Structure 1
């Protein structure tokens, strides 16, 4: 008797269900990672991970999972999440007798088939070569020469804000300002000046340059493409997985950056920026970077060097406005240190412990890259945070979890800069805080090369803002950090603050 078409489809569906069920059963109970705790559905398939990632809820899910299951959580068929301080050392730092973990290539491919760069390359030797060539651009000597550039743009921000405050309606002490715009203008003009030879003129025009509006889209496209690589079907269709508008903005972003970098390389100048020391060092070095590598690297520096700094500055302003006692304490310190505003410079703000404490605490609670830094276990497997993990397993530390852990920080969800003060000045309540658990610039050979520049940008602008203005949250336009969309990075939302002039 012939089998009907409907029966044939039912038979195929049954086979498919049994096949998928057998895979799920093996992954949950018979996989090498089966001994690690975690949600069973996530162990069976990568699908809930991807859904949570694209919805922007993955970080809170990770916090919930670690609270329930402990320091090490299995969150996908072949991935472990670490929520403990020891993972910083074991995963990211050099350990004698151990091989270095490699970056997970699914997350670190340069977009649009661009050459690999200092951030995306998974080749340890290529990364080391690039870091050696770029190191002179980010050392103390270069930062000293770049300081007038930072000071110029910080002063431009203050001029614009002062002008807005002066135009407030009569009878009002304050005016509502969207601080997100001015923070973005500031960081983008600086990185444009230092990396491309000219700013984006956002502060001059008080508007966004078209390229600046592509920043988060650039990250978003990379994340969507990375998510697609987890499944063989979607990995084949990866070019079609990224929405058309995002792909177009990525192309504009890449084409504009490549043209501007090439233009800067042709300039015969000794201007104090990131390119001058890089070119000088490369000219005298047997190691070289190709034009494609240089363009790709400075494209990622433009994004990473502005977006994360802007997010941290936004966090600082949000926390200072939300915690008026902290804001007033910082103001009193600033007023004691400086008698006139012109004394506020990059060098003079470098030794202000309470200012640094405010920034460190903002980084702890409002980290701009909460999704972590994915790595792959070496071929033969290795031990991480006391657990042997098979080779090829995806692993990472979860900053969102570790930075907020009650195991390491008293009053872990409260904004308390005092916990970062020197031991002699730190309140007893926070004497046992494990500050080393918070590593916002990462550690080891892949730590952030631009850390000194980022700190200088943040210190001088925050000091100038607090010197001049009193900040308060807007009741009409509320803002909550957790309500922002977070994939691997934070998609910043408008931050409207009530700004009044200091008397």
Structure 2
């Protein structure tokens, strides 16, 4: 008995000793790592908060906890000089003139893997970190989204917008008690355009959804809430993907419908790969899958999983940013009477018959409409989270700083579009700033190393679609949708804002793209009343 008690005490002391040694070892490792990151890392020379340099939990706090999360982009702005170390591994630069260097056309820079694949779509071009592989995948898709190809689909886009217009006339015109949820109206348009264009399978939300409520795009946008969680806790991707489809369908009608659409796409891909896709034979155009299959991609790049990842990414990427830009445009046009009046005048003069909307190529020539659209894109930002690039082979030089090869360097559209030196009164909606091909005076390093003043086009600082080899592949489609959508509805209809103000469209949360406060009426959907002219 005494031996048993002694053995028990010995075992207890042993476990206590092991726990103490483990704790001390962990503490020693953490302290050593912190000292290394602060004083011996190749990035130790760069300015920035010490806590941010020591641990990524600093970033995680602002992404997940502070004010409900999505706040790190604002913390970056607070901590900024022209260059700052924002975490143990990454540099951020706030200098509008460096944007064209970091995101240079023709340069093959890698993306940061941790910010590339957050929805388990690693085989999609958008999620591809390696620059060479990305170029291969991107080149195969470029023809499908080229300007000439999108212009050939003008009638398809116009037809969908005409259907929206017809519903407005039938269900909302002259009915002051009927409230339209504009953000979801644009969501219906986005969903119908991208599903018809990419897959030849229009979902008909414009015609069939109750009150033009696009639950499909609402569910896709709702998934963005998980963006930062899946960035910092990668295992959540596997957890979410392990949930059976029948559970998803029972848990949420909206997410269940998205899951069903995912299954439709999977079925379509299998039929196309097996040669049994009968629906494609009667389609007015080829799908994105046929574009990829007819390209020069190697066999492994046209597998089922590859096509599946690309398809789902295209649907997601083609939704929120354009829908939000249209919502921003609609709000500010209606909020500012002078903007509204000037736009209506231009549209009325350019389009005498409201039922005869010119094609996108002609609408682009309208200066004030173009200015309104550009300003809406500026204040909708596109993607607001930083977009780090990795130069594997060469160091970057920024002013007096030498950035080692392999160090991720990022910038973001929020900093770019709110720089007061480029955009005075940056938070104000001022379409006039874009009229007359305006120039900006900027100081750059001259050949002799001294600062010299040059004039640069203001348009060169518009980065809503990114720049360089990884800029948004859907830029032409987005512009076509925005031009045709705004020109058609504001030429044919009159609108009034209903219980909506600037706080409802102000960017306060970074969920990869710009989001308003959770309590805003824009998140519960912007409301307007409308009637046909």
Mapping of 1:314-353 within 5 angstroms? 314-347=327-360, 348-353=362-367
1:362 to 360, 376, 388: 376
- Corresponding residue pairs, total: 481
Indicate which of 237, 262, 265 corresponds to 1:257. 265
Q: Deviations over 1:196-240 (max 9, x none)?
A: 2121111111245765443124545554333224xxxxx5x7524
CA contact (8 A) 2:416 2:461 kept: yes
Deviation of the 1:315 alpha carbon: 1.5
- The change in CA–CA distance for 1:385 and 1:177 in structure 2 (over 3 A counts) is farther
Residues 10-19 or 317-326, more deviating: 10-19
Indicate if the aligned counterparts of 1:350 and 1:456 stay in contact, CA closer than 8 A: no
The answer on 1:198 being equivalent to 2:201 is yes
CA distance in 1, matches of 2:400, 2:242: 42
1:226 paired residue among 231, 250, 262? 231
Aligned residue in 2 for 1:117: 124
Q: CA RMSD in A?
A: 3.4
Of 77, 92, 97, which residue of structure 2 is paired with 1:81? Answer: 92
| Counterpart selection for 1:156 from 163, 168, 186 | 163
**How many Å apart are 1:102 and its aligned residue?**
0.3
Q: Which residue of 2 aligns with 1:232?
A: none
Unpaired stretches in structure 1, ≥5 consecutive residues: 230-234
Deviations 1:434-468 (A, max 9, x none): 43222111111112222111101101111122123
Instruction: Output the CA distance in 1 between the equivalents of 2:131 and 2:240.
Output: 29
Q: Which residue does the alignment assign to 1:108?
A: 116
Which whole-Å CA distance do the structure 2 matches of 1:366 and 1:73 have between them? 25
Post-superposition CA distance 1:299-342 (Å, at most 9, x none):
21111122221121111112222322212211111111111112
Structure 2 alignment gaps of length 5 or more: 1-8, 249-254, 441-454, 517-522
- Matched residue, 1:269: 281
Which residue of structure 1 lines up, in the alignment, with residue 135 of structure 2? 128
Cα distance in 2, alignment partners of residues 209 and 412 from structure 1: 32
Pick from 26, 33, 47: which aligns with 2:43? 33
Contact 1:225 1:241 in 2 (8 A): no
CA contact (8 A) 2:437 2:457 kept: no
**Residue 494 of structure 1 aligns with which residue?**
524
Q: Matched residues in 2 for 1:143 and 1:432: separation?
A: 30
Find out whether 1:46 has 2:56 as its counterpart.
yes
Determine whether 1:145 maps to 2:159.
no
Q: 2:79 is matched with which residue? A: 65
Query: Which SS does the other structure have where 2:319 is aligned?
Result: helix
Superimposed CA distance per residue, residues 351-401 of structure 1 (whole angstroms, 9 cap, x where no aligned partner) = 212112111111112213110323223155333566321233222112111
Partner of 1:80, secondary structure, is: strand
Does the aligned pair in 1 maintain the 2:48–2:79 contact within 8 Å?
yes
Q: Give the TM-score, by structure 1 length.
A: 0.84
Q: Which has the larger radius of gyration?
A: 2
C-alpha distance in 1 between matches for 2:416 and 2:439 = 24
Alignment counterpart, residue 473 of structure 1, candidates 497, 506, 522: 497
In the alignment, the residues of structure 2 paired with residue 332 and residue 18 of structure 1 have an alpha-carbon distance, to the nearest angstrom, of 71
Match of 2:520 in 1: none
